[in-house]
Amino acid sequence: MDRSLKEIHKGLAGKEFSVTELVEQSLRRIGEVDGKIQAFLQVDEDNAKRVARELDEQLASGGEQGLLFGLPAGIKDNMLTEGSLTTCASKFLSNYKAIYDATAVQKLKQAQAVLMGKLNLDEFAMGGSNENSAFHPTYNPWNTEYVPGGSSGGSAAAVAAREVYFSLGSDTGGSIRQPASFCGIVGLKPTYGLVSRFGLVAFASSLDQIGPMTKNVEDAAYVLQAIAGHDPMDSTSANVSIPDYSSALTGDVKGLKIGVPKEYIGEGVAPEVREAVLAALKVLEAQGAVWEEVSLPHTEYAVAAYYLISSSEASSNLARFDGVRYGKRSENAENLLDLYHLSRSEGFGPEVKRRIVIGTYALSSGYYDAYYVKAQKVRTLIKQDFDNVFAKYDVIVGPTVPTPAFKIGSQVDDPLTMYLNDILTVPVNLAGIPAISVPCGLVDGMPVGLQIIGKALDESTVLRVAHAFEQNTEFHKLRPQL
């Protein structure tokens, strides 16, 4: 499970091992360590073994192999997988079996990955620590007293612990990059619309984006290649040609211009994290890149704008959970209004309720212009900040998160502090542009992530810079000692 994708495919082709052995290795690892980290909500052992046998037969007959042939993968449990429970880590959907596949899941199957099961998350992807799951928290493989990040905490922990080869997460305000940083793996948030959202249970429709979580940058490029592309089932899907992302991994960053926002390395960023980022910039400098300090002046308003917009969209999207059509239905209801009220009261957890209330308030008559409309205007200013910097620079670089992972329980009763952890990730979602987090060091034994932000639809440059950094450092080779 430590090998690269190319090495895995070479081993399969050379009959060094079979897909069945790969899948059994994944199941064995899940059996060994998942009791400690609790990344999985369900493991689909029978189906994984069946698919592995089919792929081995195809391998023996010399059939053509898909891009992700035979690789054991995990799926964040807010993406529909036909015939399996899709719970969003919520009591509301604890009995919901999906009747079709999300497009991203369908594309993984077409690329012949082996889906091992569904991974834990903060309920309905609302949270930054994976403590908001209705079933159980997930623990950081580097130190189980710490959070793995969220909302894609299960997806990050499963890859870091080598339970699966790669996973899919979703990123609304940093939910791929922040847990990737906390767990010492690679997490890529693509440009909004590059990967279809069809079959992703919506949190905030103008912000959500599915992306890969992998051990290294090259694997992220391969997984993105498999899942990117236009989808007529998603009205926000970008109808653009998809380049060969792996061909961008040249290792060459000579002459590349990097902007480093002073807001990303200033007040609130832990000194050790700042030092790790400055050391990473020296590595890129040694490869021929140049960097200068720039400003994204509206960064300080990003968290406020993000939580108003995302909560407003959540309030609208979660209105479909009414106890009538699917999911939880209260047994104590005596009339229709009771059914709505009690089903939601019993089905949703406290963080989801908090965001629904914030969003409903922001959209209500008399407050809509003062809050929601103003937040959208701030969003435009944040996007213009990025446009101004990208007129002169190829990428923007800074920390992914201001601090390393924090201890479980230390922020769960302080939602404002938890929300402020997102200050370096939410601007990217508000602007709809791509960003990647790659490991760039350890602070007190816990991983730190370097965030590389690119222009819209320029994932190739983001991946090239991340790969060049990775090739000249050893951080991606570090792994937790469970």
Q: Are 1 and 30 in contact (CB under 8 A)?
A: no
Element (H, E) at 20: helix 19-37
Element (H, E) at 449: strand 446-453
The token duo for 158 is 């499963």
The token duo for 133 is 């799951």
In whole angstroms, what is the distance from residue 213 CA to residue 211 CA?
A: 7
Active site residues: 76, 151, 175
Of 101, 72, 71, whose CA–CA distance to 86 is shortest? 101
State the burial class of residue 254 (Cβ atoms within 10 Å of its Cβ: 0-12, 13-18, 19+): exposed
Q: Across the beta sheet with 395-399, what order do the strands follow?
A: 40-43, 114-119, 72-76, 166-170, 210-214, 186-189, 435-443, 446-453, 395-399, 257-261, 290-294
Of 313, 329, 309, whose CA–CA distance to 321 is shortest? 329
Computed from CA positions of residues 419, 264, 197, 72, in that sequence, does the dihedral angle turn out positive or negative? Answer: negative
**Region label for 448, one of left (φ > 0), alpha (ψ between -120 and 50) or beta (otherwise):** beta
**Region label for 450, one of left (φ > 0), alpha (ψ between -120 and 50) or beta (otherwise):** beta
The token duo for 270 is 């832990």
3-state SS assignment for residue 418: helix
Which residues neighbour 417 within 8 Å (Cβ) at sequence distance 6 or greater?
411
In whole angstroms, what is the distance from residue 55 CA to residue 466 CA?
A: 32
